Amino acid sequence: MKLKSCLAGAAGLLLISDIAFAATSASWLSPPNNSHFAAGSTQTVTGQAAGSGQTGGSGLDLILVMDASGSMGGNIVTQRNAAHALVAGLPQATTSVGIVSFTSGATTRIGLTQLDGTNTAVTSAINSFSSGGGTSIHAGVNTANTVLGSAAATASRLQAMVVMSDGGSSVSSADSAADTAMASNTEAVHSVGMGSGHSAGALQAVVNGVDDNYGTADDYGSYVGTSFANLLGLFSGTGGNLVGLDHIDLTTPDGVTHANYALDDGFGNFSVDWTLAVGANVFTVDAVGDDGTTASATWTLYGDDNGQAPEPASILLLGLGLLGLRRMQKS
């Protein structure tokens, strides 16, 4: 048996979206429920959970909203490096990234582009602007929301943006723009401060939800201060997740419950490798959302002595044959 390592929750980094009060969900995906395999064979059993009533497992459409204002100064280089690190750390096969820069207005440097491991076009877009001009976070958020609603977006993916700024912008305008975005094309907004002197208020405003109080259950996402490593952890699943989960507990067929079981990624996917015993092997996952709602799902795989379950028709023929033999013995 090979189990993923269990991971303690990082509640301060978990995503809580505008639909965080919807029911938490949990499901098993593969192999098919009630499948039969040879006893002693090892199977990888996969599942998916979400705490926000949505499924993020199919991937991510992400816009990096980057500050190009004059007040950024040397932080423009820090911002570029952070953006490059985030792009490199995202799941390449299931993520598209777009780049929007803003000063007093906003410019789409590149629309949603599927990552491919080299990411030449996205890298060029991140490097394509320097600092100069005013700061209007709301202009960047509005433009990013438009890109997330474009034909290049994948409907089954999570639509999100990360706002990167020193925060020298209108708090009320940033707050209003985020509210509008979350009511249309956007499902999550996260923010990160550029420089130790950044305005935390403006960056909290874009994630603080409709109650305008950061750190409550209706937050749109996470403000991670200047810790870009924490943001990387959120997207990779090593320090949180993108689907509003507080944690999952996984119970394996031996009856052992693995509390705070580690997700495979930030999209709520999980898996366990298990060597099947003879008979029913029952797996249970219990998911807890950030809003306190819960969900549970069970899955059963069968281990067969000969690796093949008898077909119903075979059982019938065997029964008829035994009956005939008994009659022959009586005659």
pTM of the predicted model as reported, rounded to 2 decimal places = 0.74
* Residues 282 and 147 reside in one and the same domain: no
Q: What is the mean pLDDT of residues 138-157?
A: 95
Predicted local confidence at residue 326, as pLDDT: 43
* Residues 206 and 141 reside in one and the same domain: yes
Distance of CA 322 to the CA centre of its chain: 56
CATH label of the domain that carries residue 296: 2.60.40.10
* Residues 85 and 231 reside in one and the same domain: yes
Contact 92, 191 (CB under 8 A): no
Predicted local confidence at residue 290, as pLDDT: 82
User: DSSP states of 185-227 as a string?
Assistant: T-SEEEEEESSTT--HHHHHHTTSTTTT-TTSTT--S-B-TT-
* Residues 226 and 106 reside in one and the same domain: yes
Q: What is the mean pLDDT of residues 227-252?
A: 84
Which range among 195-199, 227-231, 285-289, 310-314 shows the weakest confidence by mean pLDDT? 310-314
Q: Which residue has the higher pLDDT, 222 or 313?
A: 222
Domain ranges, residue 173? 60-236
pLDDT at residue 306 is higher than 80? no
Task: Reduce the DSSP state of residue 273 to 3 states and report it.
Answer: strand
* Residues 168 and 279 reside in one and the same domain: no
Answer whether residue 289 is part of any domain.
Answer: yes
pLDDT digits (tens, 9 = 90+) for 46-96: 999 988 655 555 789 999 999 999 999 989 999 999 999 999 988 888 899
Answer whether residue 137 is part of any domain.
Answer: yes
Q: Which residue has the higher pLDDT, 240 or 140?
A: 140
Asked which of 182, 208, 236 is the last residue of a domain, the reply is: 236
Predicted local confidence at residue 8, as pLDDT: 30
Predicted local confidence at residue 114, as pLDDT: 97
Provide the domain count of the chain. Answer: 2
Predicted local confidence at residue 20, as pLDDT: 34
Q: What is the mean pLDDT of residues 169-194?
A: 93
CATH label of the domain that carries residue 94: 3.40.50.410
Contact 262, 270 (CB under 8 A): yes
Asked which of 189, 208, 236 is the last residue of a domain, the reply is: 236
Contact 133, 144 (CB under 8 A): no
Answer whether residue 326 is part of any domain.
Answer: no
* Residues 153 and 267 reside in one and the same domain: no
Predicted local confidence at residue 257, as pLDDT: 98
* Residues 18 and 166 reside in one and the same domain: no
Asked which of 207, 236, 265 is the last residue of a domain, the reply is: 236
pLDDT at residue 325 is higher than 70? no
Could you give the CA distance from residue 241 to residue 248 in angstroms, rounded to a whole number?
12
Predicted local confidence at residue 30, as pLDDT: 96
Predicted local confidence at residue 229, as pLDDT: 82
Answer whether residue 318 is part of any domain.
Answer: no
The pair of three-digit structure tokens given for residue 192, joined into one six-digit string = 């990160």
